[in-house]
Structure 1
């Protein structure tokens, strides 16, 4: 017995009926999402605290506020986004933004509200029916999304489904019109392979090892403050967190006491008791991270407590490129410092590896920052700060190569979940003009057509 068959059939019938297409319906669902966030703020904060020991500050900033901002932006701009887009000087040539149909959103556990609702906003605004699959690992948030969120949406057009890897694999056997997945590259390959069987387009928001280059020309304490906050935010369980620092040995020696100072200022002398530091999501992930503490040499932190899934904010030095901490995405509060002799060596180090989701460069010299930007490739880039680029709805968020494909946030989310349909409406009359393109062909007609095409390349419709 297929547990998803009836649900998917019901949603397909709802889409076929045209229910999700009117702007009024889309706006009503977006307003429902806004009410869900406002009405259940404390419930959401409690769930995030239970799953990740996430502080109210981090939960508000990175989960609730961002989700609400996306809802508000979509409501303000929905009518403009939905309008046909004029393609040329001809009024009859235009791009129509159509919903794909039934889309699947598979969300992760590290930002279980944000990374579920932000793509959902785009899918709703674009007029789709949606199946949401929240992560089973963030159990408290999964329960809220399954039991409370449906009360705020049209349940004939949206469904939340539960389960682990086996259920997700079974769900992916079905044909969807678009699949949006956030998670690891390893699982992303599985999702893409399953979607390929149905020729279903995918958006893959994956991870990777995000480099952070720190130039000799910098203020070490400013760099340490910014790097430490973004590395240890959500206990390092962030896909765009700086995964390792590249710097000269001299800068490393200046950076280490500055990092120690930043960590003590942020989390106190005993970070385990700090209400501002998150905990690791599960025992499995804790064990994996505990193993990484054996790489290189611990310069700061290194303490752990399995009973609380706690790993101290940690800095490693003398790590080798072949060690596990430099081979896999860390996804925890561990920061390796890797020594390089020059900017050239740092850029070469970055370019030898898979393209990351994000890349960071710190320097007082704008030329250095610009050079790192120009000579590398990554999903996103930020100079002299952490992952603030992803908080701007005016910028697309997404990976490249191993770190993913596709983009979202703001209007980019609407576009991701829309089919951009090329449309041209022609007059049934004036057939005499079309004689130029019909056989029998002549050199004279060819010359006339080529001149017309050259002069009006964007709007010539003789061919």
Structure 2
């Protein structure tokens, strides 16, 4: 059984213990929440070297990338919560109708209870701990399930988290798909999952049996339109950084480029120059380029190199799970590399004749997690934004919208449901409870709505409760 730090306790025992703590109100106070979030920040601060080492072992992730996208982004959410939680927790008073003029109407943000957070392997610290910040801030107990594919990070987090968080309110469980299946047989009050659309369907099916609400952060093929008017060198820099960061194993990385044949002729040499500047003549020797997480994914990504024509890169080394930063041209819509999320250091370029054709191509496919558009003409960027649908959007760069914690992050349709980051994480893990507290007096006014009904009262009641369009008069 894949349980960490709890001996041979069953999943049901762990859920039961956490539920008892939640029912006792242990997680509800502002002081408790702040203390746990501070401890999470302390975990990051005191274990940077160990986190770097674990991610180096799992993904050959450069310390620069670990610091930026694993530790710093989590710290941002930790600090946002510490700075703002007192305000977030306040009741939100709302506008009232005439009938409730003397009453109190507000939204109370209640915790759901015991939540399950299932992380992913490509950013195993970020994708587990940022949702956790929101769950703690909202006052929940939580069971955390790190990905078993990033083995070193899974072990590190399962060792560290119980040392920094209250073990009566938070638990870590480890294991593979079979363990996750057993875990999902228990009743949770909310499930937050990050992973593939196929597994997301399994999670949602299990949640449906218990009528458990879910947030699903999934993936997809993120299009990137490059307009003919672009500065091809700066475009190549930004495109290469966002595509080949973490060896392309990023859910919001540009998955393919849409551009004209003319732009392709400029972009490919610019990308070649950029990749040499980034990683040297032999990227395999670069300390700044990662590796594929395991053999199965290595074989999967390597097989995609058979699509189209290799214009840049294409080398691989099975022993070290290395695949070179690769650019493909002459791909067709039916090629495997254009059919599945790549999740590796491969960038196909698909040629189109116009902006309209690019938008039509995007809209023929599932709605992605992100769409990117490069153009010096704001009207072109606005056209892509206005005429497509995606979880997020970034103009003239890749992935940088992820660095803005006041923006919601999440998918739509096949790329997921629900949002998080910053206050959006707090809201995701909070039940927004509508509350009306009425006066015990003035009973005479209430008789207007009691049986036996009098038709003469209906006008007064509608006027007192119905919202009118601005500028309209009330006719009694």
- The two structures have a TM-score, normalised by structure 1, of 0.97
**Counterpart in the other structure of 1:368:** 380
Cα 1:18–1:456 shift into 2, 3 Å: farther
Q: Is residue 335 of structure 2 the alignment partner of residue 317 of structure 1? A: no
Q: How far is the alpha carbon of 1:452 from its aligned partner?
A: 2.7
**CA distance in 2 between partners of 1:130 and 1:455 (Å):** 41
User: Are 2:192 and 1:180 equivalent residues in the alignment?
Assistant: yes
Residue in structure 1 matched with residue 252 of structure 2 by the alignment: 240
Secondary structure at 1:150's aligned position in 2?
helix
**Which residue is equivalent to 1:35?**
42
Alignment partner of 1:275 out of 262, 280, 287: 287
User: Which whole-Å deviations, capped at 9, do the CAs of 1:227-251 have from their partners, x for residues lacking one?
Assistant: 0000000000000000000000000
Deviation at 1:121, TM superposition (A): 0.1
Q: Distance in 1 between matches of 2:467 and 2:388?
A: 39
Which residue in the other structure is 2:431 paired with?
419
Match of 1:20 in 2: 27
Distance 2:374 2:220 in 1: 20
**Secondary structure of residue in 2 paired with 1:148:** helix
Matches within 5 A, 1:223-234: 223-234=235-246
Structure 1: gaps of 5 or more residues = 459-463
* Counterpart position of 1:71: 78
Question: Which of 167, 172, 184 pairs up with 1:155?
Answer: 167
Structure 1 position 107 matched with structure 2 position 114: no
Paired with 1:18 and 1:438, the residues of 2 have a C-alpha distance of: 39
Alignment of 1:34-433 (within 5 A): 34-89=41-96, 92-433=104-445
Distance (whole Å) between structure 2 residues aligned to residue 320 and residue 362 of structure 1: 22
Give the CA deviation at 1:174. 0.8
Quote the Cα distance in structure 1 between the aligned partners of 2:191 and 2:368.
Answer: 22
| Runs of 4 or more above 6 Å deviation | 455-458
Distance in 1 between residues matched to 2:45 and 2:39, nearest whole Å: 10
Cα distance in 2 for residues equivalent to 1:189 and 1:87 = 37
Matched with 1:443 is 455
Q: How many residues align?
A: 458
Counterpart position of 1:461: none
Superposition deviation, residue 453 in structure 1: 3.3
The CA distance in 1 between the partners of 2:233 and 2:89, in whole Å, is 47
Q: Secondary structure at the match of 1:359?
A: strand
Offset of residue 454 of structure 1: 4.7
Using the TM superposition, give the Cα deviation of residue 94 of structure 1 relative to its aligned residue in structure 2, in angstroms. Answer: 0.3
Shift of 1:87: 1.5
CA separation in 1, counterparts of 2:10 and 2:360? 50
Inter-partner Cα distance in structure 2 for 1:455 and 1:340 = 50
In 1, Cα distance between equivalents of 2:469 and 2:21: 42
Listed one character per residue, the Cα deviations across residues 376-410 of structure 1 (whole Å, up to 9, x for unaligned) are 00000000010111111100000000000000000
Give the CA deviation at 1:442.
2.8
Per the TM alignment, residue 444 of structure 1 is displaced from its structure 2 partner at its CA by: 1.8
Consecutive unaligned residues of structure 2, counting only runs of 5 or more, are: 2-8, 471-476
Q: How far apart are 1:455 and its partner, in Å? A: 6.8
- CA distance, structure 2, for counterparts of residue 30 and residue 191 of structure 1: 27
Q: 2:4 maps to what in 1? A: none
Say what the alpha-carbon RMSD is for the aligned residues. 1.3
